[in-house]
Structure 1
Amino acid sequence: MTDHPGDRRSPGRPFDAVLCDVDNVIRHFDSAHLEALERAAGLAEGTTKKVAFSPEVDGPLMLGHITEQEWVAAVAEGLTGLVEDQETAWSLGTALLESPFHADETVVALLRRARTRVPLVLVSNATTGLEADLAAMGLTDLADDVVSSARVGLAKPDPRILQLAAARAGVRPERCLFVDDTEENVEAAAALGMRAVHYREPADLERELAPLFR
């Protein structure tokens, strides 16, 4: 963890560190191209994601056991029978992998402000490409540390990855604010005593961070 002036415990604060998810909180994907390919292939929109993010296909990628290209191959295999040929299946898997993304600047600004007061650790179920993706968004310096599932071999909602993130922040779990868009991850954090927030929109984060600046 990087030392900075905000890394000081205060008995008046509601929490002493922020643990934040990446995808669907900080980073958002544009699925327009994928959805166009699905329509052309006669698939319902979202079919590729349903196959790709099923536990048996997505799990090995998130734990760093397979590469992104091996994941695309697994997605293509899962689409077999749903589309006319393997070329179409591969095109859909590749389009998902290469979906463009952007950072939510409102969320980024809120997190940068929070980091002036407390440590910030990103906790993501992600591929080994996460660090490069953060760099592409200009967010290499956003957090004090990044805990990526593919790097540590643990994935949310496993409480061990949350405990690891708290340790990286130098704070006890019960003194962490945890922000995530997935309910089961939020429930896992709450079970550890964290102040857990089910994120839906930037206002949720802004509301929870407000006590830091009073």
Structure 2
Amino acid sequence: MARERATALLVDLDGVLRQWDPAVTEAVEREFGLPAGALLETAMRWSLLQPAVTGQISHLDWMAGVAEALAEPAGGRERAVAAVDQWQAYRGVVDPDVLAFVREVRASGHRVGLATNATDRLDTDLATLELVDEVDLVLNSSALGVHKPAKEFFQLACQALGSPPGRVLFVDDDDRSVRGARAAGLSAYRWSGPADLPYLRAALAD
């Protein structure tokens, strides 16, 4: 039995709509004498990240925890705080191809939601990136209290969109999130780059 045609889109932020230049992080690590990869690896430790993306702690508290963990390799707490502050000043860039796709989808009458594991800094980032008015709604894990790939996240997202899961197409660059969306009944596509856009356009065609 064929799936229903998707009539709403959920798109991930980091790695899809927003891209990060790794050279920025690498430059900070070199300047402060940190091991290569230390900033991202430390920040992504689940014990530090999970409370931030579920709203238990603020973005600032998360970064304070990262600086504390980096104090020894950075050569002291003040140096670690400076490294984290400089790293966090960069907020990534919007992928113009994905933004154009989002605009096309909305112009065709389909609702678009931004579905992301994020902190309480998300609203500020969206304003900085000029994305506030580019989607119909924002599903922020720290505001919902539950993160991707949990089934509950996708249930809440579909409710917010006003669409049943079977009519929602979800796009993410993370395999676990894609599997979680499929388990919740959504159509889900693993993003690998702009070459995926023709398929996604067809999946949302009227």
Q: Same fold (TM over 0.5)?
A: yes
Pair 1:191 & 2:180 matched: no
Query: In the alignment, what sits opposite 1:171?
Result: 163
Pair 1:102 & 2:93 matched: yes
Pair 1:126 & 2:82 matched: no
- The residue identity in structure 2 corresponding to 1:163 is Q
Pair 1:84 & 2:75 matched: yes
Q: Secondary structure at the match of 2:73?
A: coil
Pick which of 131-140 and 155-164 moved more. Answer: 131-140
Q: Secondary structure at the match of 2:109?
A: coil
Pair 1:209 & 2:201 matched: yes
Query: In the alignment, what sits opposite 1:68?
Result: 59
Deviation at 1:97, TM superposition (A): 2.1
Q: Is the 8 A contact 1:13 1:212 kept in 2?
A: no
Pick which of 82-91 and 186-195 moved more. Answer: 82-91
- The residue identity in structure 1 corresponding to 2:96 is E
| Distance (Å, rounded) in 1 between the aligned partners of 2:125 and 2:27 | 24
Pair 1:26 & 2:37 matched: no
Identity %: 34
| Distance (Å, rounded) in 2 between the aligned partners of 1:69 and 1:32 | 23
| Distance (Å, rounded) in 2 between the aligned partners of 1:42 and 1:97 | 17
Gapped runs of 5+ residues in structure 1? 1-11
Q: Is the 8 A contact 1:177 1:197 kept in 2?
A: yes
| Distance (Å, rounded) in 2 between the aligned partners of 1:212 and 1:13 | 11
Deviation at 1:91, TM superposition (A): 1.9
Q: Is the 8 A contact 2:181 2:187 kept in 1?
A: yes
Relative to structure 1, the CA distance from residue 185 to residue 46 in structure 2 (aligned partners, 3 Å threshold; closer, same or farther) is same
Give TM-score, length-normalised by structure 1: 0.87
Q: 1:157 aligns with which of 142, 145, 149?
A: 149
Q: Is the 8 A contact 2:113 2:161 kept in 1?
A: yes
Deviation at 1:76, TM superposition (A): 1.2
Query: In the alignment, what sits opposite 1:93?
Result: 84
Query: In the alignment, what sits opposite 1:182?
Result: 174
Q: Secondary structure at the match of 1:157?
A: coil
CA RMSD of aligned residues (A): 2.0
**Length, aligned pairs only:** 204
Q: Secondary structure at the match of 1:81?
A: helix
Give TM-score, length-normalised by structure 2: 0.90
Deviation at 1:31, TM superposition (A): 4.2
Deviation at 1:113, TM superposition (A): 0.6
Q: Secondary structure at the match of 1:108?
A: helix
| Distance (Å, rounded) in 2 between the aligned partners of 1:90 and 1:34 | 14
Gapped runs of 5+ residues in structure 2? none
